Amino acid sequence: MAVSAKLQWVEGLKFSVQVGEGRKIELNSAEQMTEAFTPMELFLVALAGCTSMDLQWILTRERQEIEGLEISIQGTRREVDPRYYEKIDLHFLVRGKHVRRDAVERAIRLSQDEYCSVKAMLKDSVKVNITYTIAGDMKPEETFTYVPSAKTMKAAS
Amino acid sequence: MAVSAKLQWVEGLKFSVQVGEGRKIELNSAEQMTEAFTPMELFLVALAGCTSMDLQWILTRERQEIEGLEISIQGTRREVDPRYYEKIDLHFLVRGKHVRRDAVERAIRLSQDEYCSVKAMLKDSVKVNITYTIAGDMKPEETFTYVPSAKTMKAAS
C-alpha cells in the first residue's frame, strides 16, 4: 500500500503540503508557528496516533467499555544536531467501566511490539517511556508504568 | 527542547489532536479520510518536511538562487504487521538560476547524515531512495539519483 504527499516551498522555511489526493497541511520552523506545524511535531503526533488507534481498537475487541481515551506525548530533543528525540514520554488516560489493567497493559504491548508502524521504524536508541492511568470506576484513579517486554528490552540494549 | 501534543478520542479511530499550546489537527484511519490524516501520512510529511527545510536552508546559505522547491514523497508499506514503510521514495525538484548540482547533492547529504532529526531516528532497514531534478536554466531539466555517503551505506548494511 502506497502513501504519498507533495510539498511546495512558500517562503522562508514555510511549506504547503498536499497529502494524498488533496488534504492540506502547512509546515514551518519552530519560530514561525501560527497554523503551521513543525516536522518534529507531526512526527510526535504520528507516533502517539498510531499507538492510540491500536489501543482503542484492541481494547474494543477485548470488550473493555472505554468511555474516554486521552493521550499526552512529550518529546525531549537533543541539543546538538541531529536534534532528534532522545526521550519520548507517552501517557494514556483510559476512562471506562471496570477496565482491566491487564487488558490495557496487553494492548500497549501489542501496539509497541507488533502493530504500531511508526514505532517499528524507530531506532532502539529513541527511548519511549509509557505510563497509563485507569479512571472511571468508583475507586481512585491509578497510574502505572508500562514495562517493555523482554524482546523489546533485549533489542534496545 | 520539549515538544508536546495531546490527543483525545472522538469515535471509532478518530482522534482530535492539540499540538503545543493549541494548534489543532485531526487523525483518523485510512478508510475514514475527510479532513483528517493518518499517523503514517503525518510521519511521511514529517520526514519530507525536515529534509526539505534543511535543503532550503543550506542552499540559501550556499547562495544558490532558489526560485522553487517541490518535493514529492511516497512510502510503500509492508503487507504484514507492523506495516511500516519498507521503502520510501523522495524526490526534490529544485528550480533556480544556475543551481549547481554539487550544491544540491551536498545539501541532501548534510540533511541525511547530520541535520534531519526525523531521519536520524529511523532504523537503517527503512530505505530512503532520493532523486532530484534541477530545473530553471535554459538547458533541459536533469534528474539525478542521490548516492548515500559511505558512512550511511555502511550503517545500512
For A16-63, what is each residue's pLDDT tens digit?
A: 999 988 899 999 987 666 679 999 999 999 999 999 999 999 999 999
Phi and psi for A24 in degrees, rounded to 5? -110, 145
Question: Which chain B residue lies closest to A8 (C-alpha atoms)?
Answer: B70
Q: Say what the ipTM of the complex is.
A: 0.92
Assigned C-alpha cell, B30: 485510512
pTM: 0.92
* pLDDT band at residue A151 under the 50/70/90 scheme: low
Phi and psi for A116 in degrees, rounded to 5? -70, 110
> Residue B16 class from Cβ within 10 Å (0-12 exposed, 13-18 middle, 19+ buried)?
middle
The average confidence (pLDDT) of chain A is 91
Q: What is the pLDDT of residue A33?
A: 64
Q: What is the pLDDT of residue B151?
A: 57
Amino acid B101 reads R
Tell me the percentage of chain B whose pLDDT exceeds 90: 82
Q: What is the pLDDT of residue A141?
A: 87
CA A29/CA A6 separation, integer angstroms: 18
Question: Which chain B residues are Cβ-neighbours of A2 within 8 angstroms?
Answer: 74-77
Which among A45, A69, A112 is the top mutation candidate for probing chain B, defined by the most B β-carbons within 10 Å of its own β-carbon?
A45
Max CA pair span of chain A: 54
Question: Which chain B residue lies closest to A56 (C-alpha atoms)?
Answer: B13
For B117-134, what is each residue's pLDDT tens digit?
A: 999 999 999 999 999 999
Question: Which chain A residues are Cβ-neighbours of B83 within 8 angstroms?
Answer: 1, 117
Tell if the CB–CB gap between A19 and B40 is shorter than 8 Å: no
Residue of A136, A88, A141, A94 lying closest to A112 (CA atoms): A88
Is 90 exceeded by the pLDDT of residue A1? no
